[in-house]
Structure 1
Amino acid sequence: MRLILTLALLASPLAAQDIVAPSDVLERLRGTTLAYDADGVVVGVERFREDDTVTVQHLDGSCLDGEVYVSGDELCFRYEDEAEGEEHCWWSVEIDGDLYMRLADLDRSMTLRTQRVPDRPFQCRDPNMV
């Protein structure tokens, strides 16, 4: 099964690039803040803490806390608003020094480019407030 998943990743437009082990990605991300972009449009910002907890801020300003962990050859995230056992797992590749995350779900294609951004306090707003 891993061979199939790896081949699926390599068959993407990101082929011939360096696959990065999830443990290496997690080590690299601890203590940083990343912006994620899809096709040049920022879709969110996430802070990675040393204790492997995260806070993601969505475009609407709402934030969610969660955790990040390694599961096999994937980097996985679980957030506070999700059902027990629900997770989002990603494969990681490096292209010309940039880290890309590809959703590890063969039924859904999503690849995000990551960029380190200056650490700043998140101004989180309650999504239930108008």
Structure 2
Amino acid sequence: MRRFLILFFYLLTLPLSAQAAEPLSAEEFDRYTQGKTLFYGFDGTAYGVERYLPDRRVIWSFLDGRCQEGSWYEEAGQICFVYEDNSGPQCWSFALTPNGLNARFQNDPQATELYESGDIDEEMLCLGPEVGV
């Protein structure tokens, strides 16, 4: 009987886990990210940081002090980013997990998958433009 109860309660939690892994809509993504600065990791190392501003604007950095301003929009169930220094959109599917956001590049299981590694209250380090002599 005890095994049955454990199995029963385990099965009850499955739909909750599946819902947590569903891709976020644009509204859900905006609600979760707006006003935050989130660090992202990849394969156990720091990857980058993004500040989410009003009106779907963002600032991205690969943690090197160089920042790119951009914006995002939803297309075909993915969140697509366009940055000032990049020629085309970069589309991701975001899912909210118990550990934060997971992002899969172009919804491809073989492609880059990032995970949220923190939310900070500090400003990002963005150095000014490089100038010569």
TM > 0.5 fold call: yes
Structure of greater Rg: 2
Point out 4+ residue stretches in structure 1 off by more than 3 angstroms.
105-108, 126-130
- Please give the secondary structure, in 1, of the residue aligned with 2:32: helix
Using the TM superposition, give the Cα deviation of residue 124 of structure 1 relative to its aligned residue in structure 2, in angstroms.
Answer: 1.4
Counterpart check, 1:103 vs 2:101: no
Q: TM-score, normalised by structure 1?
A: 0.74
Q: Which residue of 1 aligns with 2:115?
A: 113
Q: What does residue range 1-130 of structure 1 map to in structure 2 within 5 Å?
A: 18-23=21-26, 24-83=28-87, 86-104=88-106, 106=108, 109-126=111-128, 128=130
Higher helix share: 2
- Spell out, residue by residue over 1:25-62, the C-alpha distance to the aligned partner (whole angstroms, 9 max, x if none): 12211111110100121111100012211111222211
5+ residue gaps in structure 2? 1-17
Q: 1:72 to 1:59 in 2, by over 3 A?
A: same
Aligned residue pairs total: 114
Checking the alignment, whether the CA contact within 8 Å between 1:32 and 1:116 is kept in structure 2 is no
Q: TM-score, normalised by structure 2?
A: 0.73
Identity fraction in percent: 28
Tell me, in whole angstroms, the C-alpha distance in 2 between the residues paired with 1:128 and 1:101: 31
